A = this chain, B = another copy of it.
Amino acid sequence: MATNATHGWVEGSGAPLTDEMLEQLDTWWRAANYLSIGQIYLLDNPLLRRPLTRDDVKPRLLGHWGTTPGLNFVYAHLNRAIQERSLSTIYIAGPGHGGPGMVASTYLDGTYSEIYGDIDRSDEGLRALFRQFSFPGGIPSHAAPETPGSIHEGGELGYSLSHAYGAAFDNPDLLVAAVVGDGEAETGPLATAWHSNKFLDPAQDGVVLPILHLNGYKIANPTVLARIPESELLDLMRGYGHTPYLVSGGFDGEDPIAVHRRFAETLDAVLDQIAQIKADAATGTLDGRPAWPMIILRTPKGWTCPEEIDGHPAENNWRAHQVPLSNARDTEEHLRLLETWMRSYRPEELFDEAGAPVPLATALAPEGDLRMSANPVANGGLLRTELRLPDFRSYAVDVPSPGETVSEATAVLGGWLRDVIAANPTNFRIFGPDETASNRLQAVYETTDKQWNAELWPIDAADNHLARAGRVMEMLSEHQCEGWLEGYLLTGRHGLLNSYEAFIHIVDSMFNQHAKWLDSSKKIAWRRPISSLNYLLSSHVWRQDHNGFSHQDPGFIDHVVNKKAEVVRVYLPFDANTLLSTYDHCLRTVDYVNVVVAGKQPAPNWLTMDEAIAHCTRGIGLLDWAGTERPGEQPDVVLAAAGDVPTLEVLAAASILRERIPSLAVRVVNVVDLMRLQNDTEHPHGLSDRDFDAIFTDDRPIVFAYHGYPWLIHRLTYKRHGHGQLHVRGYKEEGTTTTPFDMVMMNQLDRFQLVIDVIDRVPGLAEREGPLRQEMQDARLRARAYTRAHGEDDPEVTGWSWSGTGGSGLGDTGDDNR
């Protein structure tokens, strides 16, 4: 892909700021502020053509004024810079509830009306614009999916910078202006996101310009960064690797024009510095990691709102956080104050007779796609191209018979991912919290490196696979990795996040927000589909025997399935070929969150590639070769499994049953696509009751060995006919530092227990098979004792293999971990 790394990165004209330019800035700003306030308060009378009455005011006043004037201020100034430099720019509004400002600005630059035809440039359009905000059937108060130009809702705080960097990766010509609220700056994810600058390649990536907006207060408290000495604040930013520029203004009634001048001059200097860095990067003359500029903008909270309301300070106070005049509909005093406040922006100068903004108010709008609201980068699906995926079948492991060969499933996947990377050198990345090699994807380093722009030592290239540019992004922060990936996907690219299964809970709430974004986006016609968010969770619960109890938690799946069925998919491939087939599918999908849990330890391969494809296509199916059904008859019992270790134990149990109770008709079922268990009325992947019954029967005992917390299987199947016969084994929070087979025994998921479960549940067996039952119990005790004595699993147990030649997939030593 041909890119011109210096396109747009030009120095400014150097011409002094004219009064005309300052007037344009201030007029845009006044208009945007007016439109923001109108959205928060008004149902009608949008241009105050008549005195404001209480019926003009919304019955419920919802919205956030506090952050808005600052957001509008920055938006205006970026417009000026874009006009001057033709700089492809997107805007990330970090503070929560930044909606009114973002909507106002995108209305002024014209995009809003282009997308939403009824919100046109007229009195009527303004009325509709105001009314819809935070109104039933209208739009949210955030920079939501409905907001043109947004890739960051900010419904929850702390991810603006991670998203910004995700957008900048592999977008060498893009400027991502990220306004960071001083409230969100207190969150952990944001506090570490500053370090993203050590992971940006100045040559191949774009530029993030953080604008830390200190408005001094959050909901009910001052903010930390607004209340430390300026020297500390500047040290902090320098410590984060930035060159800080500070602009402070608007206090004590300072004329905004003076603040406009200072900020504009600062922005010019900053963009000139960036242009110089980009030029040096393009010519290879950059000396080490640049100290990228960032701006600290200190303005009053709720700037330009009434100074005092009800005897309390409003402007420059936490009371301006949300709706400063909360009784505008109820008291004449608030109503008059509101009108005075709104008229202070001089709407008659901002809008013409028809209700359209006057040319001076929109003069700063860039042309076409250069408008931040219309930049296709912020509607990533527009730019998204399909990945070039090498044929995963060529990476198949050989499976002469089930279980005869052994693979590390994720290592096999790593070989394919290596070639996915090679085939897609500029739009696919792998993210992970220092665990990509631990999760066995190390083959990718045959074709790429980990991108790293902190200090590079001579040894690093060979020893650490570190380079200034690379396709693997590793920082020990799941938040950062998730945020980067989200930003990368939202701007039209592809990727995956690999993590230890237990610690992906760290991003539970980020997943929530992204899933909700996808859910909302799907309902918005102009938002184009983006690549799915793909998780690869390895080092899973059953192989955290060595890391111990704190590393054992398979509950991310439970968390995920609470979100809309239209958005979430969960896969549990149980060997190398099913993992390949699954992941090939995931990387082709859009607008989903795909959760894939897979093993990384040596484990038996069960299915040939053709079988794996057929099995994964169905998502659920019988492992005929493992069962003992008689054609045309119902089985006596169904042994089902989801997950690699549970499937191993089920197969081992089936093997025992075949040998010891040959008359028993056992059906063995494996579930790769967990959503198949739901009803088709509940999930698009769900099976009809008829299909479900065909697999599980409607009356035979089902012993189900599940990868995670057992009750999830009940939750997914409680409406099924055979649910009363369903008995599930899974992880029940029993674990410690022990061995792999001891882990399954502690949670009663082991083969011996499964045989006991069958004996206990198939009518008549308990009476007949007492000795076998006892034998199984003894085997459990013996295995447990062996482990305690020897510190490893009894090879007589774990050496079992279906085909007689392969390994068991259990009993290996531990490996890297955090």
Chain B residue at minimal CB-CB distance from A517? B550
A136-B742, A239-B236 as given contacts; A464 in contact with B817, CB under 8 Å: no
CB of A479 within 8 A of chain B? yes
With most chain B CB atoms within 10 A of its CB, the pick from A223, A457, A464, A508 is A508
CB of A348 within 8 A of chain B? no
Is there contact, CB below 8 Å, between A219 and B816?
Answer: yes
- Specify which chain B residues have a CB less than 8 angstroms from the CB of A723 in the assembled complex: 718
Query: This chain: how many copies in the complex?
Result: 2
CB of A349 within 8 A of chain B? no
- Specify which chain B residues have a CB less than 8 angstroms from the CB of A502 in the assembled complex: 156, 509, 512
- Specify which chain B residues have a CB less than 8 angstroms from the CB of A818 in the assembled complex: 96-97, 156-157, 183, 218-219
Is there contact, CB below 8 Å, between B549 and A466?
Answer: no
Chain B residue at minimal CB-CB distance from A192? B191
Is there contact, CB below 8 Å, between A192 and B186?
Answer: yes
Interface string of A733-747 (1 = CB under 8 A from B): 100111100100000
Is there contact, CB below 8 Å, between A232 and B238?
Answer: yes
CB of A210 within 8 A of chain B? no
Interface string of A231-254 (1 = CB under 8 A from B): 011111111110000000000000
CB of A86 within 8 A of chain B? no
Chain B residue at minimal CB-CB distance from A561? B711
A236-B236, A718-B723 as given contacts; A221 in contact with B733, CB under 8 Å: no
With most chain B CB atoms within 10 A of its CB, the pick from A237, A460, A512 is A512
Give the docked Cα–Cα distance between A92 and B477 (Å): 21
A222-B466, A313-B459, A818-B219 as given contacts; A476 in contact with B187, CB under 8 Å: yes
Is there contact, CB below 8 Å, between A60 and B814?
Answer: yes
CB of A138 within 8 A of chain B? yes
Which residues in chain A, 531-555, are within 8 Å of chain B measured between CB atoms? 546-551, 553, 555
- Specify which chain B residues have a CB less than 8 angstroms from the CB of A463 in the assembled complex: 312-313, 317-318
Is there contact, CB below 8 Å, between A187 and B477?
Answer: yes
CB of A117 within 8 A of chain B? no
Chain A interface, number of residues (Cβ within 8 angstroms) = 133
CB of A527 within 8 A of chain B? no
Whole-angstrom distance between the Cβ of A668 and the nearest chain B Cβ: 24
CB of A167 within 8 A of chain B? no
Is there contact, CB below 8 Å, between B791 and A221?
Answer: no
Interface of A is mostly: loop
Partner of A61, one of B134, B520, B813: B813
CB of A766 within 8 A of chain B? no
- Specify which chain B residues have a CB less than 8 angstroms from the CB of A436 in the assembled complex: 220
Which residues in chain A, 58-93, are within 8 Å of chain B measured between CB atoms? 58-62
Is there contact, CB below 8 Å, between A155 and B548?
Answer: yes
Give the docked Cα–Cα distance between A520 and B733 (Å): 11
- Specify which chain B residues have a CB less than 8 angstroms from the CB of A547 in the assembled complex: 97, 141, 155
A136-B739, A188-B158, A791-B58 as given contacts; A817 in contact with B97, CB under 8 Å: yes
A434-B220, A787-B136, A791-B60 as given contacts; A816 in contact with B564, CB under 8 Å: no
Is there contact, CB below 8 Å, between A816 and B232?
Answer: no
Give the docked Cα–Cα distance between A818 and B503 (Å): 26
- Specify which chain B residues have a CB less than 8 angstroms from the CB of A550 in the assembled complex: 140, 142, 144, 153, 155-156, 513, 516
A192-B191, A222-B466, A816-B321 as given contacts; A509 in contact with B506, CB under 8 Å: yes
Is there contact, CB below 8 Å, between A221 and B450?
Answer: yes
Give the docked Cα–Cα distance between A547 and B96 (Å): 10
Whole-angstrom distance between the Cβ of A156 and the nearest chain B Cβ: 6
- Specify which chain B residues have a CB less than 8 angstroms from the CB of A45 in the assembled complex: none
A43-B791, A506-B509 as given contacts; A709 in contact with B562, CB under 8 Å: yes
CB of A559 within 8 A of chain B? yes
Whole-angstrom distance between the Cβ of A10 and the nearest chain B Cβ: 29
A97-B817, A156-B550 as given contacts; A227 in contact with B191, CB under 8 Å: no
Interface string of A710-737 (1 = CB under 8 A from B): 0110110010000100000000010011
Chain B residue at minimal CB-CB distance from A158? B188
Give the docked Cα–Cα distance between A326 and B815 (Å): 10
Give the docked Cα–Cα distance between A437 and B219 (Å): 9
CB of A189 within 8 A of chain B? yes
CB of A224 within 8 A of chain B? yes
Chain B residue at minimal CB-CB distance from A548? B140
Is there contact, CB below 8 Å, between A718 and B714?
Answer: yes
A184-B476, A508-B509 as given contacts; A434 in contact with B221, CB under 8 Å: yes
Whole-angstrom distance between the Cβ of A164 and the nearest chain B Cβ: 15
Chain B residue at minimal CB-CB distance from A312? B463
Chain B residue at minimal CB-CB distance from A554? B562
Chain B residue at minimal CB-CB distance from A183? B476
Is there contact, CB below 8 Å, between B188 and A788?
Answer: no
Whole-angstrom distance between the Cβ of A66 and the nearest chain B Cβ: 11
With most chain B CB atoms within 10 A of its CB, the pick from A187, A436, A460, A738 is A187
Partner of A134, one of B187, B239, B737: B737
CB of A135 within 8 A of chain B? yes
A239-B233, A558-B562, A718-B718 as given contacts; A195 in contact with B188, CB under 8 Å: no
- Specify which chain B residues have a CB less than 8 angstroms from the CB of A648 in the assembled complex: none
Partner of A219, one of B236, B438, B546: B438
Chain B residue at minimal CB-CB distance from A709? B562
Is there contact, CB below 8 Å, between B187 and A192?
Answer: yes
Chain B residue at minimal CB-CB distance from A134? B737
Whole-angstrom distance between the Cβ of A130 and the nearest chain B Cβ: 11
Is there contact, CB below 8 Å, between B508 and A476?
Answer: no
Whole-angstrom distance between the Cβ of A613 and the nearest chain B Cβ: 32
CB of A50 within 8 A of chain B? no
Interface contacts beyond A190-B192, A235-B235: sample of 18 additional A-B pairs, CB < 8 Å, sorted by A = A97-B547, A136-B739, A141-B547, A184-B476, A187-B192, A187-B476, A191-B194, A218-B818, A220-B464, A222-B464, A234-B239, A235-B236, A238-B239, A318-B463, A326-B813, A505-B559, A562-B733, A718-B723
Closest 4 CB pairs of A and B: A155-B550, A236-B239, A188-B188, A227-B454
